[in-house]
Each structure stands twice: as structure tokens, then as C-alpha cells.
Structure 1
């Protein structure tokens, strides 16, 4: 009986998450009501409130799950050598491809930047920390440099998503890594 309840809870949460993502494609979170969300999911409001406080809590839980999943995925493929950093970037991009619909919605269509900030922290942890160790930067400067690199990389990823991923993850990883290692002047202006 417990397994049946767990399945029901999982199903309810899945339907609510899918409904929120669908509604976010059409309008901002601030205009989505719990009533509308429940109607779309065909779930009554009391059931919704047994799982989430409100639509913001639901979005937060979705983001937390994606970030935890992303961290786990990248931990399995974490490369530390400079030559392998492109592979880590590519793995991050492949993860985004595997979750295209939800990542596109949360990064591009949702105007709330909390998910973007969380992805930036993941990128900083898996990509930048390894890169920054290889260069002799003042520790105060490294924070600014890593913020610039991560922010730019996230916007490259958003641009790539908005162009229907017109390049492969490997091509985008090469672009990001080229800019990070060689800079604009050396990499593009040659």
C-alpha cells in the first residue's frame, strides 16, 4: 500500500511540475495562480498544498532537482586536466540538451534569474575552479574574472538554446573554452 501511495505522490508531483513548465512557456510565474496550475494538472488545490506552499515553492523544487541532477551528472564526468576541461563543458551542454525543454523554459522564457544563478554556481564549481587554479591571479581578482567567464558562458548557452541548438555541444564547448583560455583578442581576432 505504501508503494502505491508513493507512486501517487510521484505522479502528482510530476504532473504539477509539467503543468508549471507548460504554463511558464506562456506567461510569467507571477501571473500563474495555484488555481490555474491545479486546473491544468487536473489536481485539486488541497492536494497541491500537501506538496507545495505555492507556485514559487514548486518552481524552487523544480530548480533544486535539476541542479542536484546536474551536479550528480557532472560529478560522474568531472575532469581536472586543462586538456579535459572542454570535455566537462561539453558534458554540461549535453546535460542541457537532455533536459532541453525544461532548461529552455527556465533559462530563457522564465524571467526569474534564480535558475540562471544556480547554473552559474554549478559552472563555477565544475569549470572555473579548475581553470583558475592554472593561472596566477590575485585571489581578489579571480572572483571578478570567474564571474565574467561564467556569466558570458551562460549567455552563450542561452543564445545557443534560443537558436535551437544550431551547433553541437562539442562546438559550443570549444567556443567557450577558446574564449576562456585565449580570450577574444587571441582567439577570434586572429
Structure 2
């Protein structure tokens, strides 16, 4: 219980401080004081302020997964729109990750969600890797552009481009 409280306080406080201040101008001491958590507790769970941002990303992605799976209207056709809606709903957090070039957290979370593990056979691992990095690339570019499209518009663009990519791959295959 205490572990969850400490981690939650630190992540919430860091995200709040990053709205006002640059990450490189923050200290562990400052975050701990504002969170009312001792520095020893900080170092028990984290080695840097950047590490603190990994937990909310995983938590948010798990939350999205639970909500998607619990929704009786969720289908394979709505998964991407739901995912884009999730990112849009947490725009402030994901924009912080982008601003501080910590988007690897997003990649790692996607890979974890699709269960891309080192013990998978190569063919399956390569397919999952392609999928994970394609989704990440799409989301990363969207964030870098300020997330101008809503989730419905972005999903429509994604579906259109997926069709173009599939057509291109099929054409390349036929050329062999």
C-alpha cells in the first residue's frame, strides 16, 4: 500500500511540475518536497526523474486495455479509434513524454501490451515488432503535430493508410 502511494504521489507531482518547469531544471529533492515523500523512498523505487514517467504510461495503457475489453461494443474494428481516443484523453501526459524525448516509454508500453517478448519465435516477434513500431510511429507523429485530429478523424486516416500500405506490399510481392 505504501509503495503504491509513494509511486503515485511522485508521478502525479512530477507531471504537475512539468506543466510549469523544464525536466532538466527539476531536482529529485524538489519533486520529493512537493510530493511530501522522502528522498530515500524515491531512490528505493527509481534511479532518475525519467524513470518516474514509466509507471503512469504503463498504468494508463493497462487502464485503456481493461476499459476496451470490458466494453461490449469493442471490436477489432474499433481498437485503433479507442487507442487514439485514449491518447487524446491523456494529451497533457503524452505531450510531456514527447517534449522531453521520453517516447521510448510509449514504445515499451505498446510492446508490453502486445506481449512482444524475447522468447517468441523470430517470425512472430518480427511481425509484432513491425506492428508495435508502426503504431508508435503513427502516434508519435500525431503528438509531434499537436494532435490536431480527433480520434475518429485519425482512425479514418489510419485505415486509409493501412490500405495503401497493404496495397504497396502486395504490389511489391507480385513483382518478385
Pairwise TM-score range, normalised by the shorter structure: 0.5 to 0.7
Query: How far 1:19 sits from its partner (Å)?
Result: 2.5
Name the CA distance, whole Å, in 1 between partners of 2:159 and 2:72.
16
TM-score, normalized by length of structure 1?
A: 0.62
Contact 2:58 2:109 in 1 (8 A): no
Aligned with residue 81 of structure 2, among 87, 90, 95: 90
Name the CA distance, whole Å, in 1 between partners of 2:139 and 2:93.
14
Please list, as runs of the form range in 1=range in 2, the aligned pairs for 1:136-147 lying within 5 A after superposition.
141=123, 143-147=125-129
Is residue 12 of structure 2 the alignment partner of residue 18 of structure 1? yes
Query: How far 1:144 sits from its partner (Å)?
Result: 3.2
Gapped runs of 5+ residues in structure 1?
A: 1-5, 126-138
Q: 1:52 to 1:119 in 2, by over 3 A?
A: closer
Number of equivalences: 160
Is residue 35 of structure 2 the alignment partner of residue 45 of structure 1? no
Q: 1:165 to 1:112 in 2, by over 3 A?
A: closer
TM-score, normalized by length of structure 2?
A: 0.66
Query: How far 1:124 sits from its partner (Å)?
Result: 4.0
Moved more, 63-72 or 50-59: 50-59
Name the CA distance, whole Å, in 1 between partners of 2:100 and 2:65.
22
Match of 1:153 in 2: 135
Gapped runs of 5+ residues in structure 2?
A: 116-120, 169-176
Q: 1:64 to 1:140 in 2, by over 3 A?
A: closer
Name the CA distance, whole Å, in 1 between partners of 2:157 and 2:83.
14
